[in-house]
Chain A
Amino acid sequence: MNAISTEFHPSPRLIRWLWGLVIGGGATLALGLVISPQMALSSLLSAGYTLLCAGLAGIFFVAAQYASGASWAVAFRRVPEAMCAALPVGALIVGVTLLAGSELYPWVHDRHHITGFKAMWLNFPFFLMRAVFYLLLWWVFARKILATSRAQDANPDPALSQRNTRLSVLFLVLFAITFWLASFDWIMSLEPHWYSTIFGIYNFAGMFSSGIAIIILLVLWMRRAGPLRDFVTDEHFHDLGKLLFGFTSFWMYIWFSQYMLIWYANITEETLRYTHLQHRYWLPLFILNVILNWVFPFLALLNKRTKRTGHLLARVAAVVLVGRWLDVYLMVQPAAGGENPTIAVWDIGAVVAASALFVLLFIRGMRQASPVPAGDPRLAESLHYHN
């Protein structure tokens, strides 16, 4: 398989631009931290969490493929693998933000009505220890799975695939529990009196549907830029489109499951969040969130042509990513914000910097290994399959 030598060389101009955006966006964020620390920390948390989730979506996708023994995605598996490069940096940003937790999390100082198990759980040192544990656990598994996958390039041994299958199954189980708890810790505890047991699945749904959208955009880019030109076909995009369709619908299903139970039970501390989100100018954003994350992708992806046509699928994926930003914004900002939503210059700066940083990390990850897992025994199947 020496024929595969299509390396990825992004233009230096692109790299300069991306660094410029990271520095520019970072500068607005630094300004924000001086002017309005709490608001800017919220956008830093949003940016770090979104970046971390993009990396987690990559490793989750790879692990799900291994665990299910799927072959279709092998041809472009190096793309979700390269996305994992965002994991350590996202973890660092989230970690630093959490260290400033006393500004963000009201329960650090105000222990009013925080009793029983909650008082034990929402304890700042324990909170930080848990964060370190989750982040390290994910990073260690991602590194192991990636290393095994890359080792297979030089040594096409099916035993390596089996090793990754075992690692992936273990990772998925641990990930389900730790990601759930992490979303409780980092996002839900911003409003410590509001709670929803389904919140972890809701966060997972958003993380994975936007993760598929990112994979779609990156695979399209890699096909156009060269490394995957001869390996990725319309069949792959058709299936990625189906997956995006499925998971945006899953997001909606979980969104509504959370909403309906809270609406039905009508308990004051549970409805708190929704009454806030349905007031004043939060309401248009609340509705827009559902339109961007489900209504639009659902209607657009019903058609087979959208799923098989690169530029159409890219537009749907872009809309889902805008929806993802809004979704995280609506989870994080209302706790810090006032009567009406505000979008400060550092909110935009954080998104721009995080996106540019993600692309830079992706490029780095993509260049660390051959763009196609040439030693994977399932590669041939992935190159020739039909829908």
Chain B
Amino acid sequence: MQANNQRPMSRRRFLKLSGAAAAGTALAGQSQVLHALVKKRGGLQEPQVQRRFSVCDMCFNKCGLIARVEDGVVKMLNPNPKFPKSRGMLCARGNAGTKQLYDPDRLKYPLLRKGARGEGKWQRLSWDEALDHAAEKLKAIGDQYTRCGVLFMAGSDLQSQFVHRFAEVYGSYNVLSHESNCLLSRNRAFLDTFGIVPFPDVLNSKYVIMAGANRFEALVTPDSIDMVTAMKDGCKLVVLDPRFTKTAALAHEWHPIKPGTDMAFFLAVANVIVSENLYDKNFVARNTYGMEQLVQHVRQYPPEWAEQECEIPAKDIRRIARELAVAAPAAIVYPGRRTSDYENSSQIRRSFAIVNALLGNWDRPGGLILPGKVGLSSPGYDAPFYEDNPEERVDFGKALMMFPEEGSFKLSRDAVIAGKPYPVKGWFTYKTNPMQTGANRGKTIEMINELDFMLTVDIQMSDTAWMADLVLPAPSYLERQDPASGLQGGSAGACVITRDPVVPALFESKPVFWILKEIAARLDLGEYFDFTLGEFRKKQLQKLPAAAEALRKDGVYSINNKLYGVQGKKPFRTRSKKIELYSERYKKNGADPMPVYRPPRTVPEDRFRIVVGRNAYITQGSSTNNSLLCQIFPENSVWIHPEPAETLGIREGDEVEVASPVGKGRLKAHVTEETRKDTVYMASGFGVLSKALKNIYGKGACIADILEDYDDEITGNMAMHETMVTVSLAQS
């Protein structure tokens, strides 16, 4: 295996090739340029083959891979068998990573908006012009509106930490990630119950309940792979989902639960476990706080009551509770990942966490285990303080227990539109696409129209880039050097990963680290970026002497951390130092100290609840335009049950309109019994506005345009299952 230290492209060759690219229009694809980047070899000569390590970036999982490079072209991506988290697997999306690298629709050079926002008229800039412009605008907004007048938002990426660093030294507290559109409510619930967000040891479990999680399509490594292995070893999988997902199809039991009632199910499970004395009494007595209150609380929630709410027979709820208890502690209520669904999504996940506590599965094989210590150093810095700044984030105080470093996209967006409590006039986004992932796209556009300046750094012209004023091209993960990063693999153990370029960066793309360093220098903040990425990584690894060699040799440095019995007699990181079944802190903050069931909104007769979910082929908008993946999944359709479809005169493949109070979209109908009669579903990442995404422009509809923007009252996490829609045959 070769280290990724190939000779960089010569300036002369690069300029020649860039010139070839420049001959096209600003957005036109020049696929011949991609091939021109490599030297042609004689007809029958064997290609020069190199194999280089990297880490996938086609979704957030970061699976290990080995790129096969022939004569400087990445021909194939294979799994890295030594990478424990991905268990030697690379999925369909991972295999399609070459088409992200060699995508003719990629951003190639800096672009400045020339027409109206979203009109798609651009002027090519040199990097110097682009960086000068960005620095000038950021300075002007900072001077006029304070530094908090710029909002920063970065996706799940190894270089996103530099966006956070830049925001802090620039002086803005308004920093968002993708998390408030995704998983904050799960984090809140498990953190507040156990003092730490655990990982499920799926591999060694004997009984797993997945409520809403779809691990055989919405892949999470190693859980998706481990679930299959565990099932071969006798583990039972029970799925609660309004849709018959692939996970439901392979599960031992599928219960088409009424959407929004998962808490009723788990409170009833708790009721059975408590009333039948099925819990681990020693564990509960030693490690939990609030058992007496919980015993009283769940009395009101017997299975017979829950059946009326969640439409799962009481006898099944009772049986499942007993089966769980028998399998405990190797039994899990799976915590899930995207939990941005209801206005009480944190409390729903609290009910999951509480049942796990009753099972006594904490820190045990087949239960919930603690993240491993990685030992990376964090090169520190002393950010300046701006006395004229407001005291807090723009969304501060708008949710009961918001994470102050994460905030809420929905609540920040509301604040920007309102201009209160203070004006925010700038937006910097990096590899995140809230135009496709943030519910109520109309409001996102409204927010953007309030801005003086919006800068987007991305690989492709996403819908978010399409709305920006300045668009800067970033290299794909196969073309850049990244910092080291700790990665948690649950029972696969923690590890350290990094990336070096597999091939040199194409076109004029530049990593966001370089972009920020250049802008910082122009804003007299250069001292906070006075290092190279190589130097930064060396500092990160200074306490892990074997890591650099392992990364070079194996493409990963495994920590081999202890997996079980880590908690020992150490106190839990909660206020009571125990697992909090009852939370005094919630009470103090105005939230229910134990989850109290409140029925979800009623679905009106003529409407459907629309739900969000992934499949295994695409990662929202970031890969729908991929030329390989779009052959597997070329457009989205709306799933509708045959009975209401018949009433509405809708047949398979008909073009229909899905409409909510905030938006509508046209797409094909998929008439299927794989969804409940009251529930419709469509995949995200389609109905794009960006004409630069040529493979999918004009295909399907955008779910973010249809969803209303409710939020979880505790975290401000977006709540994406609260919207009721009509479905009707589209009028031509």
Query: Do A and B truly interact?
Result: no
Which residue numbers of A lie inside 8 Å of B, CB to CB? Answer: none
